[in-house]
Structure 1
Amino acid sequence: MSDLLEIRPEARKARGLVDRRGRDLITERRIITAVADMYERWGFEPLDTPAFEYADALGKFLPDADRPNEGVFAFQDDDEQWLAMRYDLTAPLARFAAEHWQTLAKPYRRYAFGPVWRNEKPGPGRFREFLQCDADTVGSDRPEADAEIIAMAVEGLTAAGVPQRGAVIKINTRKLLNGLLDRSGVSEASQRLAVLRAIDKLDRLGPDGVRDLLGKGRLDDSGAFTKGADLSGEQIGAVMTFLTASTAGRSSALGVLAEVVGGSTEGDQGLEELARIDAALSGLGVSEDQALFDPSVVRGLEYYTGAVFEAELILRGPVESLRLGSIGGGGRYDDLVARFTGERTPATGFSFGVSRLAVALQAMDAGLAAVRGPVVVVAFDEAAMPEYFAVAAQLRQAGIPAEVYLGRSGLKAQMKYADRRMSPAAILIGEDEIKAGTVTIKDLDLGRELAAGSDLQTWKAERPGQQTVPRDQMVEAVRAIVSATP
C-alpha cells in the first residue's frame, strides 16, 4: 500500500479543455435557460441525443485507416464498430429524424443543447469541448422557415443578455455566389474555390487585400506570397460590387445584388429567397440593423445548400467598436437527412456557441450579476452545531442560500472564507445570542463596498454593518441585505 501511495500522477487537464466554475457556469446556465425558454415559446420541442454516435452516422471524418481520429474522438466498441463523440448537435438530429421520420409531426421543430467535442488542435478561444444550443426545422423548404430561425437568433441573443444593438445577424445564400460566378464566367472549380477563400478574408484583409487575392495574388508583410484567383479586371469588379451590398439595408442590398447576379438561374433563385426572408423578417419585427444581407458570409458554403447566417457580437463604445467575432451561425442544409433516406429533406437551423457567448458577455460586461455565495453561519462551538444547522435550514426554507462552516478554523479564517465565497452576510451565534434568542448578522456586502473606498455614508446609515436581531426577525434582516443594491 505504501508503494502505491508513492505513485502520484501529475494534476493536469488535457489540452484544449477548460475547468469552469462559479460565474462561468452560472452564465452558461442562464444563457441556456433563457434561450430554451424562448425556443419553447416559438413552438420548438426539446430533444436530447446521445453524446456519441456510430462514426458513419455522423458522416464526417469517416475511418479510412485503423481509426477515425481526424477531427473527432472515436473508439471501437466490443462489436468492432466505430463510435465517435458528436462534433455538433445537427448530425445526430439528422440521424434521429431519419430514424423516426414516419412518426414525427412534420415539419419537425426541435431545440437541443449540450457539449460537443472536436479532436482539433486547440488554440486561443478554440477548445476541444464546448457547449452549443441549437434550434432546427426539418421538413420545410419555405424561405420563411429560414427567416423564423434568424428571428429566433435575434431574440435569443437579447434573452441571453446581449445589450440592445450589441449583435447583428449576417445573412447570405450560396446561390448568390454561384450565380455571380456563373454570370462572370468563372467555371473552373479551383478558381471558384480561390474566390471563396478570398471573400472569406474580407474582415481581416479589407477590400484591397481581397482585390489582390481575386487577381494575381497578395504579398503579405512577412514576404509570403499567396497566389490569387487570377480573375480579370471586369470579374474582380463584379465580385467587389457584390461584396459592397452589405453596406445597404436589406431592401437596397437586393437591388445591388440583382445588378451582378440577376439573369443567372441560381442568382435569381437566391434573390427570390432573400426577398421572401426580408419580407418575413419585416413581419416578425426584425429591423435591418439586427439582421442584414452580407454576401461576404461564406461559412460552410460547401455544406449548406441555401441561406447561411452568422451572429456577430459588437461592443459599441464611445469612441470605437470592439468586434468580438462570431458566436453562432447556421443555415439551410437540405442534403443531411438524405444521407440516410436517399430522399432530399429540407432543413434549416441555427446554433449558439454557448461557451463562447458566455466569455463574450463577460468581456462586454453585459450587465451580468456577480456570482454570490451563500450566507455563512459561523461555527463557534461544536456543542452548538445543531443550532447552527437549524439557522441555516431556516434561511434555506425562506429561499436564501445558506451553509454552516464545516472547517475547523477560527473566526478570522471563517470570515475570510465567507468573503472568498462572495457571501452577502455571515451569521454569528455565540453563547449570548443562544441564551437571548437572537442572532448577529454581519453585512459582508457593505464591508466589501467600504473596503473599495466607495462613498456610501447614507447607505451605511440605512444598512448598518452589523446588527443583532431576534431570531424570528433574522430572515427579513438577511433578505434585506441579499436583495439590497447600493
Structure 2
Amino acid sequence: MAKPKKQPRPKAITPKGFRDYFGQEVTQRTEMLRAIANVYHRYGFDALESSAVETVEALGKFLPDVDRPNEGVFAWQEVDENDKGDWMALRYDLTAPLARVYAQHRNDLPTPYRRYAMGPVWRNEKPGPGRYRQFYQCDADTVGTASMAADAEICAMLSDTLETVGIPRGDYLVRVNNRKVLNGVMEIAGLFDKQNPGAFETERGIVLRAIDKFDRLGAEGVRSLLGEGRKDGSGDFTSGAGLNLHQIETIMSFVLAPGLVAEKQEEIRALVESQIEDGVGATTVSLDKGNKISQSTRLVAALYAPHPNNPSPENHYWNIAAISVLGELVRGSEEGEQGVDELSEIVDLLYAQGYGPDRIKIDPAVVRGLGYYTGPVFEAELTFDVFDEKGRKRQFGSVAGGGRYDDLVKRFTGQPVPSVGVSIGVDRLLAALREKGRIAAQATGPVVVTVMDRDRMADYQAMVAELRNAGIRAEVYLGNPKNFGNQLKYADKRNSPIAVIEGGDEKANGIVQIKDLILGAKIAESATLEEWKERPSQFEVPRGDLVSKVREILDSQD
C-alpha cells in the first residue's frame, strides 16, 4: 500500500497586492485617524461604521465592469437552495455604502445628515509600486442639502484637517473647480447637450483624460489628443477625440485658463489700487460690469474692507480673477454660468471664515475622474518637493479629493438627494507626514524591566505595574532570562528607551539600575573615553525613585 502523500506546507507569503502592517505603522495610522476624527467631530459630523460587504446591485455604477461583477472588486455569489444567490462584494469605497445606508435609514436620520467614516476598502485591480488592493480611506459627507455652504464647509474642514495632522500652511493647497463649468465649456464646444447627456459621451471622456494629462504632456500634447491623436516617444499611438479646430480652441481656452487668471489677477490689483487712490467706495465698484463677479458685494467689498478673519485681502485677488475668467469662458451656457455662480458663493463663504487662495484656491485645472460628480469638485494637493526612486525631484501630489454628487442616492430612492463629500487617502497622507519629518522614522518602544532572577518575577511585575499606572509604557522581559545580553538585544530590537535592572545585590540594598539606552547608543557611536565617563548612561537610584527617574530620562529624550 502506497504511503499517502504529505500535504505540502503552505507558503508564508502575503497575497499579491496586499501587505502586512506592524505595530508602529498601525499606531501612527490610529493616531492620525483620531486627530482627523476630532476635526470632523468639531464640525458637527457623526461617525458611521457601515458593513464591509455590499451587494453588487448596491454598488452598481461603482463597479468597473457590471457584466463581470468579480472584476474590479472582490466578489462572490451566495449559494441558495437553487445554487444561485446574490452577488456580494467587499466595498470598493466608502461612498457607495453611504448612499445605501442613507436610502435605507433616511426616515430615522436627520436632514441634512453629516457623517464621517474611516476604514479599509478593497479593489481587485492590478497592483503596482505603492498601489495595493487594500487601503484605508477617511471620508466625510453631508447628505440632503443643495446649499453651497456645505461645499464650502467641506473645503474648510479639509484645510483644517491637513494642518491638524501636521501639514503646515504653505505645504498644501485645496484646489476647487465645478463640473458644471466644464460642462458649460463642453456645451459651447458642441460636446454637451443637457437634454441628451449621453450624446458625445465617448468624446467627452477623451477630452477629460486629455485635460488631466496637461501637467505631463503640455499644451501641444493635449491639443493632439483633442484632435486626431498623439504618438509618444516609444512610437505608441493614442487615438484622439477627433474634434474640429473650433472645438479644440474652445477646450484649450479652458485648459490654459490658469494663465489667463494670473493676467486677470494683476488687472484687478492695478484697478483696485487706482480706485482706492481715487477714493471710490467699495459698494459702488464693479470689476467687470458684464460679468457675474459684480453680483458678489462681499467679494468686491473684501478688496477694500478686510474681514477680521482674513486681514490680507490682496491674497484674495486670485479667486476673484478665476471666477471672472471662468465666467467669460462659459458665457452663453446656462449650466456653465450656474457653476460659476456656485464657485463665487463658495469663495464668498470661505473668505468670510478666513480661507483665502493661500489655502483654498479656485483652479480650472481640477478635473475629477468619477462620473457621478454633478457640481463643485475639489482636490487637496501637497506642494512640497520629494525625490522619487530615481532621485528626480517632484511634487508629492494629491492626498484627498471629492465633490458634489446629487444623483447617487437617487439610484435607491428614485428622487435626487443633494450630497457633497471628501475622501482622504490615509496611506498617502501618512507617507507625506513621514516625508515632512512629522512622524518619527522609528517609534519609541516600551521601557523593558529585565529579569535577573526568574524566581522574583512578582517583583518585576510590581515595577511594571507602577510604571504603567504612572502612564509609562512598560513590559517585563518574558523570554529566557539566562543570558542578560540577549535581554538588552531584545530591548534594542524593541527600540526601548530604557532598561531597568534589579539583581540580588540591588534588591538587598533597595536600589535599581536604570539604563538610558538612547543616550548609551549615541555615546557608543561617537564619544571618547573621557566623554563616556563624564556622561554616564546608567543610573543607580533608590527603588522608590524608579518612576520619577524613568520619567526624567524619558523627558530628556524628547
In the alignment, does 2:425 pair up with 1:347? no
**Residue matched to 2:319:** 250
Q: Larger C-alpha radius of gyration, 1 or 2?
A: 2
* 2:188 partner SS: helix
Q: Deviations over 1:70-95 (max 9, x none)?
A: 11111223442221111111111111
1:183 equivalent in structure 2: 188
For residue 398 of structure 1, the aligned residue among 470, 481, 484 is 470
Q: Are 2:439 and 1:434 aligned?
A: no
Q: Deviations over 1:20-43 (max 9, x none)?
A: 113322221121000000000000
SS across alignment from 1:484: helix
Q: Is the 8 A contact 1:306 1:333 kept in 2?
A: yes
Shift of 1:464: 3.7
2:376 & 2:524 partners in 1: Cα distance? 54
Contact 1:245 1:293 in 2 (8 A): no
Alpha-carbon distance in structure 1 between the residues aligned to 2:16 and 2:429: 21
Q: CA deviation at 1:19?
A: 0.9
1:296-336 deviation digits (Å, cap 9, x = unpaired):
2222352211111111122258xx97412221111111111
**Aligned pair 1:311/2:380, yes or no?**
yes
Give structure 1 stretches of 5+ with no counterpart: none
8 Å Cα contact 2:498-2:550 kept in structure 1: yes
Aligned equivalent of 2:247: 235
Paired with 2:393 and 2:331, the residues of 1 have a C-alpha distance of 35
**Residue 234 of structure 1, CA deviation:** 4.1
Offset of residue 150 of structure 1: 0.9
User: Deviations for 1:451-471, whole angstroms, at most 9, x for unmatched residues?
Assistant: 44489x99996x741101011
Instruction: Report the Cα distance in structure 2 between the residues aligned to 1:171 and 1:154, rounded to whole angstroms.
Output: 12
Q: Which amino acid aligns with 1:120?
A: E
- Which residue type is aligned with residue 230 of structure 2? R
Which shows bigger deviation, 351-360 or 242-251? 242-251
Go from structure 1 to structure 2 and tell me whether the alpha carbon gap of 1:460 and 1:419 turns closer, same or farther (over 3 Å shift).
farther
- Could you tell me which residue of structure 1 aligns to residue 345 of structure 2? 276
Q: 1:234-287 CA deviation, whole Å, 9 max, x = no partner?
A: 433332332333454211111111221122111101100110111111122222
Question: Quick check: 23-32 or 415-424, which moved more?
Answer: 23-32
1:31–1:159 contact (8 Å) kept in structure 2: no
Measure the CA separation in 2 of the matches of 1:68 and 1:283: 47
Residue 267, structure 1, aligned to residue 336, structure 2: yes
Mapped contact 1:246–1:292 kept (Cα < 8 A)? no
Q: Which residue of 2 aligns with 1:77?
A: 78
Contact 2:434 2:441 in 1 (8 A): no
- Cα gap change, 1:238 to 1:6, in 2 (>3 Å): closer
Residue 178 of structure 1 aligns with an amino acid whose one-letter code is N
Matched letter for residue 70 of structure 2: N
Does structure 1 conserve the Cα–Cα contact (< 8 Å) formed by 2:518 and 2:557? no
C-alpha separation between the residues in 1 aligned to 2:167 and 2:407?
33
Shift of the 240–62 alpha-carbon distance from structure 1 to 2, 3 Å rule, reads closer
Q: Is the 8 A contact 1:242 1:256 kept in 2?
A: no
| Aligned equivalents of 1:230, 1:259: Cα separation in 2 | 25
**Which letter does structure 1 place at the counterpart of 2:340?**
L
Does residue 225 of structure 2 align to residue 220 of structure 1?
A: no
* Structure 2 CA distance for aligned equivalents of residues 407 and 196 of structure 1: 60
- Name the count of aligned residue pairs: 481
Change (3 A) 1:414 1:221: same
CA RMSD of aligned residues (A): 2.5
Q: Tell me the alpha carbon deviations over residues 154-206 of structure 1, each in whole angstroms, 9 at most, x when there is no partner.
A: 11111122233211112111111110121123353333222111101112222
Q: Distance in 2 between matches of 1:440 and 1:75?
A: 59
Instruction: State whether structure 2 residue 164 is matched by structure 1 residue 159.
Output: yes
Choose the corresponding residue for 2:553, options 458, 467, 481.
481
Distance 1:50 1:386 in 2: 45
Name 1:22's counterpart in structure 2. 23
User: How many angstroms does 1:392 deviate by?
Assistant: 0.9
1:169 aligns with 2:170: no
Work out the CA distance in 2 between the residues paired with 1:343 and 1:337: 8
- Assess, with a 3 A threshold, how the Cα gap between structure 1 residues 194 and 454 changes in structure 2: closer, same or farther: farther
Is the 8 Å Cα contact of residues 64 and 72 (structure 2) preserved in structure 1?
Answer: no
* Amino acid in the other structure paired with 1:177: L
User: Cα gap change, 1:212/1:64 in structure 2, threshold over 3 Å: closer, same or farther?
Assistant: closer
What is the CA distance between 1:485 and its match in structure 2?
3.7
- Whole-angstrom CA distance in 2 between matches of 1:365 and 1:259: 44
Do the aligned residues in 2 keep the contact of 1:137 with 1:348 (CA within 8 Å)? yes
SS in 2 for 1:8: coil
8 Å Cα contact 1:219/1:225 also seen in 2: yes
The match for 1:117 is 122
Larger mean Cα displacement after TM superposition, 387-396 or 368-377: 368-377
| Corresponding position of 1:208 | 220
Q: Name the counterpart of 2:435.
A: 363
Aligned partner of 1:192 in structure 2 is 204
CA distance in 2, matches of 1:460, 1:314: 47
Instruction: Name the structure 1 match of 2:523.
Output: 450
Give the deviation of 1:64 after TM superposition: 5.9
> What is the aligned counterpart of 2:95 among 85, 90, 108?
90
186-195 or 148-157, larger mean C-alpha shift = 186-195
Q: What is the rounded CA distance, in whole Å, between the counterparts of 1:158 and 1:458 in structure 2?
A: 42
> Which secondary structure state, in structure 2, belongs to the residue aligned with residue 427 of structure 1?
strand
State, as a whole percentage, how many aligned pairs show the same letter: 49
448, 456, 459: which is aligned to 1:384? 456
- Say if 1:75 and 1:407 are closer, same or farther in 2 by CA, change over 3 A: same
2:399 aligns with one of 299, 309, 327: 327
Q: Tell me how far apart the structure 2 counterparts of residues 167 and 321 of structure 1 sit (CA, whole Å).
A: 17
Partner of 2:541: 469
**CA–CA separation in structure 1 for the residues paired with 2:209 and 2:430:** 29
2:141 matched to which residue of 1? 136
CA spacing shift, 1:62–1:220, aligned 2, 3 Å? closer
Cα displacement string for residues 434-477 of structure 1 (whole angstroms, at most 9, x for unaligned residues): 1111110000111233344489x99996x741101011111011
Name the amino acid aligned to 1:182: E
Contact 1:86 1:92 in 2 (8 A): yes
Gaps of 5+ in 2: 193-199, 262-317, 387-391
Partner of 1:50: 51
Partner of 1:424: 497
